[in-house]
Amino acid sequence: MPNEPRVPDYHVQHALTEQYLLPYLNEVEQWLLSLRAEVDAEQQPRQPTKLGKTYPLGQCLEISQLMQQRLARLGAGAPSGQVNAGWQAMRSFLQAGGMIRQVWGDLRREYFQNAFQVGSLYIDVANDTVVPTKPKVEILPFYQANFRPIENYQHFILIAGRYWKDRVFANHLLPELAPFFPLLHLTVDGRLVLREPTRYMLALTEASGFRLSEQILQQLALPLPLFQRAAVTLLGSGYTLASDPQQGRQQALLHCQRERQRVPLVVAETDSKIRNLLDINQRLGYLRIANPDGFDNTAEASPSTAVVPLPTFVQDSRNVMPSINIDNKEYDLDTLSEEAKAQIASIQFVDQELARLQAKAAALQTARNAYVNALKGLLPDSASLAS
Protein backbone atom coordinates (compact mmCIF):
# COMPACT_ATOMS: atom_id res chain seq x y z
CA MET A 1 0.00 0.00 0.00
CA PRO A 2 1.19 3.57 -0.58
CA ASN A 3 2.83 4.97 2.57
CA GLU A 4 2.16 1.77 4.52
CA PRO A 5 4.24 1.62 7.73
CA ARG A 6 6.30 -1.50 7.13
CA VAL A 7 9.82 -2.43 5.97
CA PRO A 8 9.84 -4.11 2.54
CA ASP A 9 12.56 -6.76 2.15
CA TYR A 10 13.46 -6.42 5.83
CA HIS A 11 16.60 -8.61 5.90
CA VAL A 12 18.27 -6.68 3.06
CA GLN A 13 17.30 -3.29 4.48
CA HIS A 14 18.42 -4.23 7.97
CA ALA A 15 21.83 -5.39 6.72
CA LEU A 16 22.33 -2.10 4.84
CA THR A 17 21.24 -0.16 7.91
CA GLU A 18 23.75 -1.96 10.11
CA GLN A 19 26.55 -1.40 7.61
CA TYR A 20 25.99 2.23 6.59
CA LEU A 21 23.81 3.99 9.17
CA LEU A 22 24.21 2.53 12.66
CA PRO A 23 27.93 3.40 12.95
CA TYR A 24 27.07 7.05 12.18
CA LEU A 25 23.68 7.36 13.84
CA ASN A 26 24.61 10.44 15.90
CA GLU A 27 25.96 12.16 12.78
CA VAL A 28 22.80 11.23 10.83
CA GLU A 29 20.67 12.72 13.61
CA GLN A 30 22.68 15.96 13.60
CA TRP A 31 22.35 16.22 9.83
CA LEU A 32 18.58 15.69 10.07
CA LEU A 33 18.38 18.37 12.75
CA SER A 34 20.15 20.78 10.42
CA LEU A 35 17.54 20.01 7.72
CA ARG A 36 14.77 20.48 10.26
CA ALA A 37 16.18 23.91 11.13
CA GLU A 38 15.89 24.84 7.43
CA VAL A 39 12.30 23.60 7.38
CA ASP A 40 11.41 25.59 10.50
CA ALA A 41 12.85 28.75 8.99
CA GLU A 42 10.68 28.18 5.91
CA GLN A 43 7.45 26.88 7.43
CA GLN A 44 7.04 28.86 10.64
CA PRO A 45 6.70 32.28 8.94
CA ARG A 46 4.43 30.71 6.31
CA GLN A 47 2.05 29.13 8.86
CA PRO A 48 2.75 30.37 12.39
CA THR A 49 -0.47 28.79 13.69
CA LYS A 50 -2.74 25.95 12.59
CA LEU A 51 -6.24 25.49 13.99
CA GLY A 52 -5.35 27.84 16.80
CA LYS A 53 -2.13 26.01 17.72
CA THR A 54 1.29 27.63 17.58
CA TYR A 55 3.94 26.16 15.27
CA PRO A 56 5.03 23.37 15.20
CA LEU A 57 1.91 21.91 16.88
CA GLY A 58 -0.34 20.10 14.42
CA GLN A 59 2.04 20.50 11.47
CA CYS A 60 3.49 17.00 11.32
CA LEU A 61 2.44 16.50 7.69
CA GLU A 62 3.71 19.86 6.48
CA ILE A 63 7.10 19.40 8.17
CA SER A 64 7.43 15.82 6.90
CA GLN A 65 6.65 16.88 3.34
CA LEU A 66 9.27 19.63 3.40
CA MET A 67 11.82 17.24 4.87
CA GLN A 68 10.96 14.72 2.16
CA GLN A 69 11.79 17.33 -0.48
CA ARG A 70 15.20 17.82 1.07
CA LEU A 71 15.87 14.10 1.38
CA ALA A 72 15.06 13.75 -2.31
CA ARG A 73 17.94 16.12 -3.08
CA LEU A 74 20.61 14.02 -1.37
CA GLY A 75 22.71 13.81 -4.51
CA ALA A 76 22.76 17.55 -5.14
CA GLY A 77 25.96 18.17 -3.20
CA ALA A 78 27.57 17.78 0.19
CA PRO A 79 26.69 20.20 3.00
CA SER A 80 29.46 21.92 4.87
CA GLY A 81 30.51 21.64 8.49
CA GLN A 82 30.08 18.95 11.10
CA VAL A 83 26.87 17.48 9.61
CA ASN A 84 28.75 16.26 6.52
CA ALA A 85 29.42 12.80 7.98
CA GLY A 86 25.69 12.19 8.46
CA TRP A 87 24.94 13.25 4.90
CA GLN A 88 27.68 10.99 3.56
CA ALA A 89 26.41 8.00 5.56
CA MET A 90 22.88 8.45 4.24
CA ARG A 91 24.08 8.93 0.68
CA SER A 92 26.24 5.80 0.82
CA PHE A 93 23.26 3.89 2.25
CA LEU A 94 21.06 4.93 -0.67
CA GLN A 95 23.71 4.20 -3.28
CA ALA A 96 24.01 0.67 -1.89
CA GLY A 97 20.27 0.05 -2.28
CA GLY A 98 18.93 1.47 0.95
CA MET A 99 15.33 2.66 1.02
CA ILE A 100 13.70 5.86 2.26
CA ARG A 101 9.89 5.95 2.31
CA GLN A 102 7.44 8.41 3.78
CA VAL A 103 4.93 6.39 5.82
CA TRP A 104 1.69 7.10 7.67
CA GLY A 105 -0.32 5.18 10.24
CA ASP A 106 -1.22 4.56 13.87
CA LEU A 107 1.54 5.34 16.36
CA ARG A 108 1.15 3.63 19.73
CA ARG A 109 -2.65 3.60 19.41
CA GLU A 110 -2.60 7.33 20.16
CA TYR A 111 -1.79 9.37 17.06
CA PHE A 112 -1.90 9.48 13.30
CA GLN A 113 1.75 9.76 12.42
CA ASN A 114 3.75 10.86 9.38
CA ALA A 115 7.28 9.49 9.58
CA PHE A 116 10.00 7.86 7.47
CA GLN A 117 11.06 4.25 7.04
CA VAL A 118 14.80 4.46 6.42
CA GLY A 119 16.14 0.94 5.97
CA SER A 120 15.10 -0.81 9.18
CA LEU A 121 14.81 2.47 11.12
CA TYR A 122 11.82 4.56 12.10
CA ILE A 123 12.69 8.24 11.78
CA ASP A 124 10.29 10.94 12.93
CA VAL A 125 11.47 14.37 11.81
CA ALA A 126 8.45 16.12 13.40
CA ASN A 127 8.51 14.52 16.84
CA ASP A 128 7.62 17.80 18.58
CA THR A 129 4.35 18.51 16.75
CA VAL A 130 2.14 17.04 19.50
CA VAL A 131 4.29 17.72 22.57
CA PRO A 132 6.59 20.67 21.75
CA THR A 133 9.09 19.83 24.49
CA LYS A 134 10.03 16.53 22.84
CA PRO A 135 13.17 16.32 20.65
CA LYS A 136 12.54 17.43 17.08
CA VAL A 137 13.94 14.19 15.61
CA GLU A 138 13.41 10.66 16.93
CA ILE A 139 15.21 7.57 15.56
CA LEU A 140 14.22 4.03 16.59
CA PRO A 141 14.40 0.50 15.21
CA PHE A 142 11.28 0.39 13.05
CA TYR A 143 9.59 -2.52 14.78
CA GLN A 144 10.19 -1.02 18.22
CA ALA A 145 8.28 2.16 17.38
CA ASN A 146 4.84 0.50 17.76
CA PHE A 147 3.86 1.98 14.41
CA ARG A 148 1.18 0.04 12.58
CA PRO A 149 -1.03 0.35 9.49
CA ILE A 150 -4.64 1.48 9.78
CA GLU A 151 -6.70 -1.71 9.31
CA ASN A 152 -10.18 -0.35 8.56
CA TYR A 153 -12.46 2.61 9.23
CA GLN A 154 -13.27 1.48 12.75
CA HIS A 155 -9.55 1.62 13.49
CA PHE A 156 -9.35 5.05 11.84
CA ILE A 157 -12.27 6.36 13.91
CA LEU A 158 -10.67 5.08 17.12
CA ILE A 159 -7.47 7.06 16.53
CA ALA A 160 -9.37 10.11 15.24
CA GLY A 161 -11.30 10.22 18.50
CA ARG A 162 -8.19 9.87 20.65
CA TYR A 163 -5.97 12.20 18.66
CA TRP A 164 -8.26 14.83 17.15
CA LYS A 165 -11.26 14.39 19.52
CA ASP A 166 -13.47 14.29 16.42
CA ARG A 167 -17.02 13.00 16.32
CA VAL A 168 -17.46 10.87 13.21
CA PHE A 169 -20.57 10.31 11.06
CA ALA A 170 -21.41 8.46 7.87
CA ASN A 171 -21.15 10.35 4.60
CA HIS A 172 -24.81 9.95 3.63
CA LEU A 173 -24.59 13.45 2.16
CA LEU A 174 -22.51 12.91 -1.00
CA PRO A 175 -23.34 9.37 -2.12
CA GLU A 176 -21.17 9.34 -5.26
CA LEU A 177 -18.09 10.15 -3.19
CA ALA A 178 -19.06 8.00 -0.20
CA PRO A 179 -17.28 4.84 -1.45
CA PHE A 180 -13.98 6.77 -1.45
CA PHE A 181 -14.62 9.09 1.52
CA PRO A 182 -17.24 7.46 3.76
CA LEU A 183 -16.73 9.63 6.84
CA LEU A 184 -17.80 13.12 7.88
CA HIS A 185 -15.89 14.46 10.89
CA LEU A 186 -17.18 17.08 13.28
CA THR A 187 -14.20 18.69 14.98
CA VAL A 188 -14.04 20.05 18.49
CA ASP A 189 -14.15 23.62 17.13
CA GLY A 190 -17.31 22.94 15.14
CA ARG A 191 -15.98 22.38 11.63
CA LEU A 192 -17.43 19.72 9.37
CA VAL A 193 -14.77 17.89 7.33
CA LEU A 194 -14.96 15.09 4.74
CA ARG A 195 -12.35 12.38 5.39
CA GLU A 196 -9.86 10.80 4.59
CA PRO A 197 -7.66 12.06 1.71
CA THR A 198 -4.57 9.90 2.27
CA ARG A 199 -3.48 7.67 -0.59
CA TYR A 200 -3.08 4.82 1.89
CA MET A 201 -6.75 4.94 2.95
CA LEU A 202 -7.90 5.20 -0.66
CA ALA A 203 -5.77 2.20 -1.65
CA LEU A 204 -6.96 0.22 1.40
CA THR A 205 -10.58 1.00 0.56
CA GLU A 206 -10.21 0.02 -3.07
CA ALA A 207 -8.32 -3.17 -2.20
CA SER A 208 -11.28 -4.23 -0.05
CA GLY A 209 -13.62 -3.86 -3.01
CA PHE A 210 -15.11 -0.87 -1.16
CA ARG A 211 -16.45 -3.25 1.49
CA LEU A 212 -14.71 -1.25 4.23
CA SER A 213 -16.67 1.82 3.15
CA GLU A 214 -19.84 -0.20 2.77
CA GLN A 215 -19.49 -1.52 6.32
CA ILE A 216 -19.03 1.87 7.98
CA LEU A 217 -21.71 3.55 5.84
CA GLN A 218 -24.13 0.88 7.07
CA GLN A 219 -22.98 1.08 10.68
CA LEU A 220 -22.97 4.84 11.30
CA ALA A 221 -25.73 7.42 10.93
CA LEU A 222 -25.86 11.07 9.87
CA PRO A 223 -28.29 13.04 12.08
CA LEU A 224 -30.90 15.01 10.17
CA PRO A 225 -30.01 18.47 11.56
CA LEU A 226 -26.34 17.99 10.63
CA PHE A 227 -27.33 16.66 7.19
CA GLN A 228 -29.54 19.71 6.58
CA ARG A 229 -26.88 22.22 7.52
CA ALA A 230 -24.23 20.56 5.38
CA ALA A 231 -26.60 20.16 2.43
CA VAL A 232 -27.58 23.82 2.51
CA THR A 233 -23.92 24.83 2.65
CA LEU A 234 -23.16 22.76 -0.48
CA LEU A 235 -26.17 23.90 -2.52
CA GLY A 236 -25.04 25.09 -5.95
CA SER A 237 -21.62 23.46 -5.60
CA GLY A 238 -22.19 21.09 -8.53
CA TYR A 239 -21.92 17.95 -6.39
CA THR A 240 -24.79 15.47 -6.24
CA LEU A 241 -26.43 15.66 -2.81
CA ALA A 242 -28.82 13.15 -1.29
CA SER A 243 -32.33 14.42 -0.54
CA ASP A 244 -32.21 13.08 3.03
CA PRO A 245 -30.00 10.78 5.15
CA GLN A 246 -32.02 7.65 4.34
CA GLN A 247 -31.73 8.14 0.60
CA GLY A 248 -28.09 9.07 1.10
CA ARG A 249 -27.39 5.78 2.90
CA GLN A 250 -29.11 3.74 0.19
CA GLN A 251 -27.38 5.54 -2.66
CA ALA A 252 -23.98 5.43 -0.95
CA LEU A 253 -24.25 1.65 -0.51
CA LEU A 254 -25.35 1.28 -4.13
CA HIS A 255 -22.33 3.28 -5.30
CA CYS A 256 -20.05 1.02 -3.25
CA GLN A 257 -21.46 -1.97 -5.14
CA ARG A 258 -21.01 -0.21 -8.48
CA GLU A 259 -17.43 0.82 -7.74
CA ARG A 260 -16.65 -2.79 -6.89
CA GLN A 261 -17.36 -3.73 -10.51
CA ARG A 262 -15.03 -1.10 -11.98
CA VAL A 263 -11.40 -1.45 -12.95
CA PRO A 264 -8.92 -0.13 -10.35
CA LEU A 265 -8.44 3.61 -10.15
CA VAL A 266 -5.52 5.13 -11.99
CA VAL A 267 -3.43 7.88 -10.40
CA ALA A 268 -5.26 10.65 -12.24
CA GLU A 269 -8.62 9.42 -10.90
CA THR A 270 -7.26 9.27 -7.37
CA ASP A 271 -5.92 12.81 -7.69
CA SER A 272 -9.31 13.96 -9.00
CA LYS A 273 -11.13 12.42 -6.02
CA ILE A 274 -8.74 14.12 -3.59
CA ARG A 275 -9.29 17.47 -5.34
CA ASN A 276 -13.05 16.96 -4.95
CA LEU A 277 -12.59 16.35 -1.22
CA LEU A 278 -10.44 19.45 -0.76
CA ASP A 279 -12.95 21.59 -2.66
CA ILE A 280 -15.86 20.27 -0.59
CA ASN A 281 -13.99 20.92 2.65
CA GLN A 282 -13.26 24.46 1.55
CA ARG A 283 -16.97 25.01 0.93
CA LEU A 284 -17.91 23.40 4.25
CA GLY A 285 -15.50 25.80 5.92
CA TYR A 286 -18.29 28.42 5.91
CA LEU A 287 -20.25 26.31 8.40
CA ARG A 288 -19.60 26.36 12.13
CA ILE A 289 -21.41 24.39 14.81
CA ALA A 290 -21.19 25.76 18.33
CA ASN A 291 -21.72 22.61 20.43
CA PRO A 292 -20.75 19.55 18.37
CA ASP A 293 -21.14 17.17 21.33
CA GLY A 294 -24.92 17.30 20.83
CA PHE A 295 -24.92 14.75 18.00
CA ASP A 296 -25.22 10.96 18.16
CA ASN A 297 -23.59 9.10 15.28
CA THR A 298 -25.53 5.89 15.90
CA ALA A 299 -29.06 7.31 16.10
CA GLU A 300 -31.42 6.72 13.20
CA ALA A 301 -31.60 9.95 11.26
CA SER A 302 -35.11 9.86 9.76
CA PRO A 303 -37.34 12.91 10.42
CA SER A 304 -39.92 10.71 12.18
CA THR A 305 -37.50 9.08 14.60
CA ALA A 306 -34.76 11.66 15.05
CA VAL A 307 -34.01 11.84 18.77
CA VAL A 308 -30.70 13.68 18.76
CA PRO A 309 -30.72 17.03 20.58
CA LEU A 310 -30.35 19.98 18.26
CA PRO A 311 -27.07 21.85 18.81
CA THR A 312 -26.82 25.60 18.35
CA PHE A 313 -25.41 26.45 14.93
CA VAL A 314 -23.06 29.31 14.21
CA GLN A 315 -22.33 30.88 10.82
CA ASP A 316 -19.18 32.98 10.61
CA SER A 317 -19.00 33.09 14.43
CA ARG A 318 -22.46 34.74 14.80
CA ASN A 319 -25.00 32.95 16.97
CA VAL A 320 -28.26 31.84 15.41
CA MET A 321 -31.08 34.13 16.58
CA PRO A 322 -33.25 32.79 19.44
CA SER A 323 -36.40 33.57 17.43
CA ILE A 324 -37.52 33.89 13.83
CA ASN A 325 -40.25 35.92 12.10
CA ILE A 326 -42.40 34.02 9.59
CA ASP A 327 -45.42 35.69 7.95
CA ASN A 328 -45.20 38.56 10.45
CA LYS A 329 -45.34 36.22 13.43
CA GLU A 330 -42.46 35.82 15.87
CA TYR A 331 -41.57 32.26 16.95
CA ASP A 332 -39.52 31.47 20.06
CA LEU A 333 -37.18 28.60 19.19
CA ASP A 334 -37.16 27.30 22.77
CA THR A 335 -40.88 26.43 22.56
CA LEU A 336 -40.66 24.42 19.33
CA SER A 337 -40.03 20.74 18.64
CA GLU A 338 -36.57 19.55 17.68
CA GLU A 339 -37.68 18.89 14.10
CA ALA A 340 -39.13 22.40 13.81
CA LYS A 341 -35.92 23.85 15.23
CA ALA A 342 -33.91 21.99 12.59
CA GLN A 343 -36.09 23.36 9.79
CA ILE A 344 -35.94 26.92 11.16
CA ALA A 345 -32.17 26.71 11.60
CA SER A 346 -31.90 25.72 7.95
CA ILE A 347 -34.16 28.65 6.92
CA GLN A 348 -31.99 31.05 8.90
CA PHE A 349 -28.86 29.71 7.30
CA VAL A 350 -30.37 29.98 3.80
CA ASP A 351 -31.36 33.57 4.55
CA GLN A 352 -27.79 34.35 5.62
CA GLU A 353 -26.38 32.69 2.50
CA LEU A 354 -28.80 34.60 0.26
CA ALA A 355 -27.83 37.89 1.87
CA ARG A 356 -24.15 37.08 1.49
CA LEU A 357 -24.54 36.07 -2.16
CA GLN A 358 -26.70 39.10 -2.96
CA ALA A 359 -24.09 41.39 -1.45
CA LYS A 360 -21.37 39.63 -3.41
CA ALA A 361 -23.40 39.87 -6.62
CA ALA A 362 -23.97 43.58 -6.08
CA ALA A 363 -20.26 44.17 -5.52
CA LEU A 364 -19.38 42.19 -8.65
CA GLN A 365 -21.96 44.15 -10.69
CA THR A 366 -20.44 47.42 -9.45
CA ALA A 367 -16.98 46.22 -10.41
CA ARG A 368 -18.21 45.10 -13.83
CA ASN A 369 -19.83 48.48 -14.48
CA ALA A 370 -16.55 50.20 -13.59
CA TYR A 371 -14.61 47.98 -16.00
CA VAL A 372 -17.19 48.58 -18.75
CA ASN A 373 -16.99 52.35 -18.31
CA ALA A 374 -13.20 52.24 -18.36
CA LEU A 375 -13.24 50.10 -21.51
CA LYS A 376 -15.67 52.46 -23.26
CA GLY A 377 -13.14 55.23 -22.87
CA LEU A 378 -10.54 53.12 -24.69
CA LEU A 379 -12.75 52.21 -27.68
CA PRO A 380 -13.09 54.22 -30.92
CA ASP A 381 -16.19 56.37 -31.22
CA SER A 382 -17.71 53.94 -33.72
CA ALA A 383 -17.41 50.99 -31.34
CA SER A 384 -20.16 49.98 -28.93
CA LEU A 385 -20.31 47.72 -25.94
CA ALA A 386 -23.34 46.09 -24.44
CA SER A 387 -23.72 46.87 -20.78
Q: Render 121-149 in DSSP notation, one character per residue.
A: EEEES-TTSSSTTS-S-EEEEGGGS-EE-
Residue 31's SS3 state is helix
What pTM did the predictor assign? 0.73
Residue-wise pLDDT for 22-80, tens only, equals: 999 999 999 999 999 999 999 999 999 987 789 999 899 899 999 999 988 876 666 65
Residue 316 pLDDT greater than 70, yes or no: no
**What is the domain extent for residue 134?**
10-148
For 234-248, give the DSSP string: TTTSSS---SSHHHH
Burial grade of 118 (CB within 10 A; 0-12, 13-18, 19 or more): buried
Check the CA dihedral 305-307-308-312 and report its sign. positive
Task: Say how many domains are in the chain.
Answer: 2
What pLDDT does 81 receive?
A: 56
Q: What letter represents residue 255's amino acid?
A: H
Looking at per-residue pLDDT, the higher value among 236 and 155 belongs to 155
CA distance 155 to 271: 24
Are 210 and 247 in the same domain? yes
Examine the fold and report which residue of 260, 289, 318 is the final residue of a domain before the chain moves on. Answer: 289
- Cβ contacts of 346 within 8 Å, gap of 6 or more: 228, 229, 232
- Cβ contacts of 371 within 8 Å, gap of 6 or more: none
Are 120 and 165 in the same domain? no
CA distance 198 to 149: 12
What pLDDT does 105 receive?
A: 95
| Pairing between β-strand 138-141 and β-strand 121-124 as defined by DSSP bridges | antiparallel
User: Residue 276: inside a domain, yes or no?
Assistant: yes
User: Residue 320: inside a domain, yes or no?
Assistant: no
User: Residue 211: inside a domain, yes or no?
Assistant: yes
User: Residue 5: inside a domain, yes or no?
Assistant: no
Cα Rg, the chain, nearest whole Å: 26
Examine the fold and report which residue of 246, 270, 289 is the final residue of a domain before the chain moves on. Answer: 289
| Adjacent-strand bridge partners of 314 | 288, 319
Residue-wise pLDDT for 322-338, tens only, equals: 556 677 777 666 676 65
Residue 381's SS3 state is coil
Question: What end-to-end distance do the CA atoms of the chain give, in Å?
Answer: 56
User: Residue 363: inside a domain, yes or no?
Assistant: no
User: Residue 141: inside a domain, yes or no?
Assistant: yes
Are 102 and 157 in the same domain? no
User: Residue 15: inside a domain, yes or no?
Assistant: yes
Please report the beta strands in 16-132, taking only residues with DSSP state E, as ranges in sequence order.
49-50, 53-54, 100-107, 111-118, 121-124
Confidence at 376, pLDDT banded by 50, 70, 90: confident
CB 221 within 8 A of CB 183: no
Are 87 and 173 in the same domain? no
Residue 359 pLDDT greater than 90, yes or no: no
Are 109 and 171 in the same domain? no
Q: What letter represents residue 327's amino acid?
A: D
Are 170 and 114 in the same domain? no
Are 144 and 185 in the same domain? no
Examine the fold and report which residue of 230, 254, 289 is the final residue of a domain before the chain moves on. Answer: 289
Confidence at 365, pLDDT banded by 50, 70, 90: confident
Are 271 and 160 in the same domain? yes
Are 171 and 113 in the same domain? no
| Adjacent-strand bridge partners of 117 | 101, 122
In percent, how much of the chain has pLDDT > 70? 79
Looking at per-residue pLDDT, the higher value among 84 and 190 belongs to 190
What angle (nearest 5°) sits at the alpha carbon of residue 246, between those of residues 240 and 249? 65
Residue-wise pLDDT for 107-150, tens only, equals: 999 989 999 999 999 999 999 998 999 999 999 999 999 999 99
**Pure H helices in 263-376:** 267-284, 338-376
Confidence at 253, pLDDT banded by 50, 70, 90: very high
Are 242 and 173 in the same domain? yes
Using alpha carbons, select from 297, 265, 281 the residue that is nearest to residue 174: 281
Residue-wise pLDDT for 76-113, tens only, equals: 666 655 558 899 999 999 999 999 999 999 999 998 99
CA distance 370 to 384: 16
Burial grade of 52 (CB within 10 A; 0-12, 13-18, 19 or more): exposed
Are 195 and 138 in the same domain? no
User: Residue 371: inside a domain, yes or no?
Assistant: no
Are 131 and 225 in the same domain? no
